[in-house]
Structure 1
Amino acid sequence: MLIFFLTLILALFGRSVSQEVCEDLLAANSCRFLASQNDCQTWNWLSLNCAKTCNSCATEQFSWLPWTTWSACALPCGRGTRSRSRSCNIGQESNCGSNWNENENCNEFPCNDAIQWSDWLSWGSCSHPCGNGTRSRSRICGSGRPFDCGTNASESEECNMHDCPDVHWNEWGPWTPCTKSCGDGGKHSRSRSCNTGIDSDCGSEETEQTWACNTDACPFGYRWNEWSQWSPCTKSCGSGTHTQTRTCSTGQQDDCGTEWRHKWKCNTEKCNAGKWNTWNSWTSCSKTCGEGSRTRTRSCSTGRNSDCGITSIETLLCNKFACLGELNLLSVCFKFTYRFRYDRFISDLRNA
């Protein structure tokens, strides 16, 4: 038994396995013993050192498989790198040697101005108002594809490193109105926030509470009130809508159900391209003298003036001359003035 283990150690650590010779490197008895335990496929070292017994000579000619294709260049210009690799035909790459991957430079020509990083954009807001937050900023590659310029498209830094003030929950807000006035299923809620503006700063306690409310039994016979009148149609033509509503006798719609509103189409007829009809005759002047006014109107061919526009009436001034009474007064004044001047002229002649 001692000879067996010495032989095993020698085979594993004291000799290199020839890839060309098909023979058992361990003692024949040792190989047969190990092979009887069905270990040829389990232990790679056994397949190598008991090649003849394990019948693995034909497959133990180690050689490199073909190289893979080169990877994409890490940079489109300005000297990037690319790599390729290959595998050993049996087991790990170390069975064939150490030269299993290769790297080389690529795209060594200078970058033009179009493929350059832009200036950094402004810093984003800090993730926390205090107590060590972070903020980030980014930049844009001139080609529109970040990988053309590299991998450093964004960066971050710490911000608001100062200690937070006394961090605590603000007082609970008021309760919302109960969803029902009576019966089962009514709920109301309230909420609170952290004084830092970020709820997670205060911990993981609840920020909202929802409790049952108005759980007393509803009075017998609550019911819907009568439907309201239909609202005016939202359109004069071209399919509008109008609605009618009703309320629950308890004052809470949910107490009676969900059928509290009807909504139907109205004025579904197609809108016509309205045209103004001919102007009607002018009305009589509102005054016979002293500046009056007169009007005329027209109508839209659809029967709705709004279909044609807003100019459906015109107004003009008329009879702008002075009234007769005013003329008589002027005549009297003129005669009085003339008579006064004539009498004074005669008086002056007599006194001369």
Structure 2
Amino acid sequence: MPQPTQPLALGIIGAGIMGERMLDAIAGQDESPVRVAALWDPDPAARARIAARFPSLPVVADAAAVVAASACVYIASPPATHLGHARAALAQGRSVFCEKPLAVDLAEARAFVAAAGPRGAVNFPFASSLGVATLAQWIAEGAVGTPQRLTIEVAFARWPRGWQADAAGWLDAPQEGGFTREVVSHFLFLSRRLLGPLDGLRAQARFPEAGRSERAVDATFRAGAVPVVLRGRVGETALDDHNIWTLEGEAGTVRLRDWAIAERQGPDGGFAPAPDAIPNERARPIALRRQLEGVVRMTRGEPHALATLAEALEVQEVVEAILAGR
């Protein structure tokens, strides 16, 4: 009789917003495919907060102890620290699941990806999104026909968003932060995954406040053969976080709205959501649980749908080119 599969030992470095969301996704499952083997954050207050919320969680003394306890290390720390933790984990034979971007320095990211091999992936949850799966199905069924244009719009009342205020020190810094890295990158990944390689970029970014991240970006490029127009703004909406990814074709138009809701344009020009569409607050933990299933497959050397290191690097190349106004 086959033995039940044991949950994967997952270590977590970083107890901020993403680390806590991942913990919630794991705790929200009756039978999670992973168990948290260890967690560490350099901030004592963050460690104390997590320990209070998850009393049985093994909170350890340093990053090395996380690596030692784990089969895979989830890196949810600020971007400047990603590569150091990832290299340390890979050197000990662990797999790596990393938040984006891979690194602050593109040359270092390129060198890392060239040497890392298949034991790494990046957390772009659109890889496991129910809404994206609906879009992909509609496209495959011919709802769009031949794609003709893609429009990406992102808008924020302020940056960072209200729930990110505790991390504003790096999220609003031009070296690591900004909405292009934090939000637009997800939609670049989505475009790459559904339509093809990203190239032909022309872009401009505006940094009106010294020492702070961008407040506007405009770009045109191609995803596969499809022309793309990107527009991002801070301060032109009252909404905390609003985004629309719209794909038009000769047979019809589909879009993803506000991270999660797949919609299809009707004959009257209006958009109707998929019957099973759910808002992002409910969709996000489902996507993260599906991501964790991919983490298990990746660590075991099995096929998975997670964003590969190469895909994440391609996205980062485009993001940095947008911010540089190339």
Question: Relative contact order (C-alpha < 8 Å, sep 6+): which is higher?
Answer: 2
- Tell whether the structures are fold-level matches, with TM greater than 0.5: no
Normalising by the smaller structure, the TM-score range is under 0.3
Q: Which structure has the larger Rg? A: 1
More helix by share: 2
The TM-score, its normalising length taken from structure 2, stands at 0.16
More strand by share: 2
The TM-score, its normalising length taken from structure 1, stands at 0.15
